[in-house]
Structure 1
Amino acid sequence: MNDLGFADGEKRIGLHVLARNVYRGPHLFGRLPMIRIQVALGELEASPTDRLPDFTDRLLAALPGLARHGCSCPHEGGFPRRLREGTWLGHVIEHVALELQTLAGSPVSRGKTRSVPGRPGVYNILYRYLEEDVGLAAGAAAIALVAALLPVWFRRWDGGALLPAPVGGDGLDVGATVEHLIALRRRSALGPTTASLAEAARRRTIPVARLDQQGLLLLGWGTRQQRLRASITGRTPQIAVSLAGNKDATKALLTAAGLPVPKGIVVRTVEDALAAAQKLDGPLVIKPLDSNHGRGVSTFVETPADIGKAFDHAAKISSRVIVEKHLPGNDHRMLVVDGKLVAVAERVPAHVVGDGIRSVGELIAFVNADPRRGDGHESMLTKIRVDAALRPVDI
């Protein structure tokens, strides 16, 4: 017999996941967006953490950051004290889900676990999230990790179909789990402009909910709600949005207002692109007619072969491609809110400066080590990516 009174080798299901909900706005349990996972502890209800051999030490070794959780105490170390005094596993899963999200770059700290009245051993685990996919995956990973630390006869758990499949096999590979959560966060990360506006809304206690994977947000609720994509709100007339998304139409409006714009021609085939190049003469910029974030853009294009490659690159983004004169100068992005200029960013092409010692590859690695640089548009500076667009050099 083992210390808990079960026969050696006897295995049984420990945790049962009964339900899960994603609350994107105010809900029965609070005002902040939260995830609820309802679990039944079954026989584990009689085994709080102080009765589980080595559980607390192994958990804190796997996630040292839990030692900083205050829990209901006003200072760090409250949660480890609760573990050693004895607390139930639903409470543990709540803290693990919060810590995993924080390690993945989504710092959250609000959570609570409550027993369900009239249902002994059943608990509602609630915890805060910033990105829905990351929050759900963190909850599944938290259950897998806690289950893996239980005595062998309690490590099985069911109800996983309600949650994303955890990574890392038995749940003990915290590194693999965090890397997976980071990848999820990057896929759903908002661009700098949208993220800044969302954060400004949260500081003003305005609820923020994400509506799709293209960055469409909902600010507020009920009659005061507003939708937002990047810096465009639902108050912008649709015709203006359509014009702003069409580079050729935008240039026509600017020309009518007397502002200088580069000459350009909209084409649909590579043959038309070559013909347009002859009319425009000189270095060209070839880009999709209606894309953003610099996708599919090629600059300083001159030879017919490069024009063909640049057209193919742009055509992957849009069926219509614009061929323009290349104008030298600086590239700025300006953000206007309520008719006022609030921010300006200068876009600088990726480059390195040789020092006569390091190779190009070493210089790129050095530049990418800057903590201000991230992948894609998750940070204000972007890491240099070595791809087919980089001319063959000794890297």
Structure 2
Amino acid sequence: DFFYAAEVAKNVTIFFNLLLKTPALNSAQTAKALIQLENICEHFALDQSVRAMITEAEKRDIPWFRIAPKFRDVQFGYGHKQQRMRETLSSKENILATTYSRDKDFSSRLLGSVGLPVGKFVTVANANEAMAQAKLIGFPVVLKPLSGGKGIDVVIGLRTPEAVFNVAKDLLSRSSKLIVQSYMPGDDHRLLVVAGKFTAAARRNPASVTGDGQNTVEQLIRIANTDPRRGYNFYRLMNYILIDEELRRLITDQKLTLSSVPEKGRKVRLRRTANIAAGGDAVDVTDIIHPD
């Protein structure tokens, strides 16, 4: 749209003026300036979900526009048939369903009531209670906030009372309540249903790198992050793989450090959960999904 194009043009002009005024700019400074330009552009950009909808709308000659400058809400069409969208939410969304999906205790009970496997789970409010309930449920377990999304603060595969206590204490510094749930191993799939009909399916894979016998784990992560499909906050197809305490704990469990050089072909897991937000990727499996 005009606002986004105007912002990009303005900042591209600033960038090239900087180059003209500073002819001795070295490669590191140029790279830094380019990153700043990219961040500015992405700040005003629409996320990939909305962009995909815009692409399809344009194919069908459906008009669209950004509702207000600097906001990411988009309107498709006009009048009583108009629809609005923000990220993956649209004006078609059922508010009750959205509310249910954000309450992991209630949504698990709802899924369990129709016969879907959800595993044993309980809601807790302190680390000691989390540890006690984990012992009753049986290890390994999963800890996650009662409310939230995008896999944020979901920790899976905890195998000891001490690990549960420490993780629960950390998570409770950001959430008032947690879910302790039995761990159910398997692949992570997302199914898209439109108007009651199955449309697409994707298998999501946790972030990982594969050893080449030459680079360290940290270098392999940096190489993976050079993929142009990666970025921040869902403006690209994948997010950057960030080095944090969770990542360090996981590679330690694999008897590695950031400075270790994995042998060629060895897969190093960097996240336990298969979330795009945490640097994972997705594979389209629509054509091989079972008809049931």
Normalising by the residue count of structure 2, what TM-score does the alignment of the two structures yield? 0.69
Aligned partner of 1:292 in structure 2 is: 149
Give the Cα–Cα distance (whole angstroms) in 1 for the partners of residues 69 and 167 of structure 2. Answer: 30
Number of aligned pairs?
A: 246
Give the Cα–Cα distance (whole angstroms) in 2 for the partners of residues 288 and 212 of structure 1. Answer: 33
- From 197, 219, 227, the counterpart of 2:53: 197
Deviations 1:300-336 (A, max 9, x none): 1123342234324544654332111111100112222
- From 168, 172, 179, the counterpart of 1:311: 168
SS where residue 328 of structure 1 aligns? coil
Aligned partner of 1:335 in structure 2 is: 192
Cα distance, 1:216 vs structure 2? 4.3
Give the Cα–Cα distance (whole angstroms) in 1 for the partners of residues 173 and 197 of structure 2. Answer: 36
Higher relative contact order (CA 8 A, sep 6+): 2
Cα distance, 1:237 vs structure 2? 2.8
One-letter amino acid of the structure 2 residue matched with residue 319 of structure 1 = S
Gaps of 5+ in 2: 260-292
Aligned partner of 1:384 in structure 2 is: 241
C-alpha contact 1:286 1:311 (8 A) present in aligned 2? yes
C-alpha contact 2:139 2:160 (8 A) present in aligned 1? no
Closer/same/farther in 2, CA of residues 258 and 388 from structure 1, 3 Å limit: same
Aligned partner of 2:90 in structure 1 is: 233
Give the Cα–Cα distance (whole angstroms) in 2 for the partners of residues 178 and 187 of structure 1. Answer: 14
Matched-pair identity in %: 29
One-letter amino acid of the structure 1 residue matched with residue 7 of structure 2 = L
Q: What RMSD, in angstroms, separates the aligned Cα atoms of the two structures?
A: 3.4
Closer/same/farther in 2, CA of residues 178 and 369 from structure 1, 3 Å limit: closer
- From 75, 90, 112, the counterpart of 1:255: 112
Give the Cα–Cα distance (whole angstroms) in 2 for the partners of residues 312 and 394 of structure 1. Answer: 25
Runs of 4 or more above 6 Å deviation = 167-174
Give the Cα–Cα distance (whole angstroms) in 2 for the partners of residues 371 and 267 of structure 1. Answer: 41
C-alpha contact 1:192 1:380 (8 A) present in aligned 2? yes
If you compute each CA radius of gyration, which structure gives the higher value, 1 or 2?
1
C-alpha contact 2:11 2:37 (8 A) present in aligned 1? no
Deviations 1:327-371 (A, max 9, x none): 110011222222222222222112223344432223323333434
Deviations 1:212-239 (A, max 9, x none): 9895443333433222244432233321
Closer/same/farther in 2, CA of residues 261 and 214 from structure 1, 3 Å limit: farther
Gaps of 5+ in 1: 1-32, 36-128, 149-166
Answer yes or no: is 1:351 the counterpart of 2:208: yes
Aligned partner of 2:286 in structure 1 is: none
Deviations 1:184-239 (A, max 9, x none): 34445554434322332343333132569895443333433222244432233321
Closer/same/farther in 2, CA of residues 316 and 295 from structure 1, 3 Å limit: farther
C-alpha contact 1:251 1:261 (8 A) present in aligned 2? yes
Cα distance, 1:242 vs structure 2? 0.7
